[in-house]
Amino acid sequence: MASEETSTMTPAQTTPIRTAAADGAAEKQPPTRAWTTRLVMVGIVLAALNLRPAITSLGSLLEEVRDGLGMSGTLAGLLTSVPPLCFALFGVMAPRLARRFGPSAVVCAGMVAIATGLVIRPFLGGTAGFLAASALALMGIAVSNVLMPVIVKRWFPDRVGSMTGLYSMALALGTSMAAAITVPMTDAMGGSWQSGLAVWAALAVVAVVPWVPLVRDKSAASAAPEHVSSEVRKEDAGLRITRSRTAWALACFFGLQATAAYITMGWMPQIFRDAGVPAGEAGVLLAVTMAMGVPLAFVIPRVATRLPNQGPVVVVLGACGLAGYAGLYLAPEGGAWAWALLLGVSNCAFPLALTMVGMRAKSSVGVAKLSAFAQSTGYLISIPGPLLVGVLYQHSGGWGLPIALMAGLMVPQIVVGILAGRNRTVEDEVAAAA
């Protein structure tokens, strides 16, 4: 798998091309190094599984939570905007924390924060406590979001595509799994929404396990040496990421694809229901859209790393989105399954964005800064979208204007995605600007 991807590495990716001799050396690597690498892989997958259940499990039981805590409709609506806000605010902390404590330690602490937040939030007895515990869990998710590409770049520099695909697939699986089984699991536990939400803490506890020995093993960091020069390390230490046009393009691409994803998750079932699709089928259609991310999240990063420029992949995903929105406007009921599938493909811009983060910087330090900037800025950009769709729907009395907005946002997403996909690094751009 590694040799297939490294044979197509671009000049922007500074990882050396692996030769047959290097492959032979890799096969003869010390047992401790091989064991640690496998442990990191397990840790990445388990961490990725925990990056969305805190959100999608709440969405499944939002009505019960609202009634149980006596939330107003406005407050319940604002609750759905808290995740991207927390991702933006807490994500910027990740690079600094990683420099001080190490990426593995921060991800481990992130899993502990998720587990703690999830297990206590249903039982604090009020809206303020619920929001505070949710923020604790979301903080853990935010720093882990940012550091996943960093850990991949550090431990698997010659397999950025396959490893990004692996954890993107695990993330999509965790998202769809929590949405699909939270309600049945709650019913099986007696119908208590508190138990239905708290049970997801167990998955986060499991995710802590592989990271603990990595944190305790002081030689783990040196077991994954980066093949970058001292000049690159010095360059990335003082990197002014905001001077890079590619960083801004990637941040806008991340924000616009997140906007489309949140609009889809929040409003697509209602669009279908208003068109005459039964409520149960509308829910299944959303599940199908989300489930498309499981296989495609593994395939798209592998394809992207084989291309010197990721623009064509951006265009294909954007075209699927435009076709899906056109279908929702013209024949929402008649072609519902086709539109759900097309929008599911379009939503896979997320793993593509994560892949480009790993490809547009030369070292794990550069990736950390780029990932924090792109995700934090991107999630800030995504916050108004779902709210604006609701306002347009309420004031226009139909879905024509909201769908037009969704399609209109897809055009700049394609443009900035093409710019972000160009074969260059943020370090070279910042140096040129200076």
Q: Which of 416, 406, 413 is nearest to 325 (CA)?
A: 406
Q: Which of 46, 59, 76 is nearest to 151 (CA)?
A: 46
pLDDT tens string 377-386: 999 999 888 8
Given a cut of 60, whether residue 320 has pLDDT beyond it is yes
**pLDDT given for residue 15 in this prediction:** 39
**pLDDT given for residue 181 in this prediction:** 85
* Reported confidence tier of residue 269, pLDDT bands at 50, 70, 90: confident
Q: List own/partner pairs for 3-12 with CB under 8 A and 24 or more apart.
A: 5/158, 5/159, 5/160, 5/161, 5/162, 5/302, 5/305, 5/306, 6/158, 8/305, 8/306, 8/307, 9/158, 9/305, 10/308, 10/359, 10/423, 11/423, 12/359, 12/360, 12/423, 12/424, 12/425
CA quadruple 277, 389, 65, 143: dihedral sign: positive
Q: CA-CA distance, 299 to 195, in Å (whole number)?
A: 36
Instruction: Record the tokens describing residue 59, joined without a space.
Output: 């969405």
**pLDDT given for residue 223 in this prediction:** 47
* Reported confidence tier of residue 74, pLDDT bands at 50, 70, 90: low
Q: Which of 205-219, 262-276, 298-312, 409-423 has the highest mean pLDDT?
A: 409-423
**pLDDT given for residue 63 in this prediction:** 76
- The domains of the chain are located at 2-433
* Reported confidence tier of residue 367, pLDDT bands at 50, 70, 90: confident
Angle at 117 between CA 114 and CA 122, to 5 degrees: 135
Least-confidence region, from 17-31, 140-154, 242-256: 17-31
Q: Which of 83, 59, 71, 81 is nearest to 387 (CA)?
A: 81
The answer to whether 190 and 326 are in contact (CB under 8 A) is no
* Residue linked to tokens 């506890």: 205
**pLDDT given for residue 428 in this prediction:** 84
Mark out the alpha helices in 156-243 (DSSP H runs): 160-188, 193-198, 201-208, 211-216, 230-237
Write down the mean pLDDT value for the chain.
84
Region 102-117: what's the mean pLDDT?
95
Region 351-362: what's the mean pLDDT?
90
Task: Classify 13 in phi/psi space as left (phi over 0), alpha (psi -120 to 50) or beta.
Answer: beta
Q: CA-CA distance, 268 to 372, in Å (whole number)?
A: 29
SS3 letters for 90-124? Answer: HHCCHHHHHHHHCHHHHHHHHHHHHHHHHHHHHHC
Instruction: Record the tokens describing residue 398, joined without a space.
Output: 């139909």
* Reported confidence tier of residue 23, pLDDT bands at 50, 70, 90: very low
Region 195-216: what's the mean pLDDT?
93
Q: CA-CA distance, 277 to 289, in Å (whole number)?
A: 16
Q: How many CB atoms lie within 10 A of CB 218?
A: 8
* Residue linked to tokens 């751009």: 429
Domain 2-433, CATH 1.10.260.40 — does that match?
no
Q: CA-CA distance, 9 to 62, in Å (whole number)?
A: 45
Instruction: Record the tokens describing residue 405, joined without a space.
Output: 């907005």
Helix (H, G, I), strand (E, B), or coil: what is residue 222?
A: coil
Instruction: Record the tokens describing residue 91, joined without a space.
Output: 């994500």
**pLDDT given for residue 175 in this prediction:** 84
Instruction: Record the tokens describing residue 390, joined without a space.
Output: 């609701």
Q: Which of 170, 151, 189, 193 is nearest to 365 (CA)?
A: 151
Instruction: Record the tokens describing residue 367, joined without a space.
Output: 């990736």
Region 134-138: what's the mean pLDDT?
94
Region 347-374: what's the mean pLDDT?
89
Percentage of residues in the chain with pLDDT exceeding 70? 86
Q: CA-CA distance, 205 to 203, in Å (whole number)?
A: 5
Q: CA-CA distance, 145 to 153, in Å (whole number)?
A: 14
Q: Who wins on pLDDT, 291 or 309?
A: 309
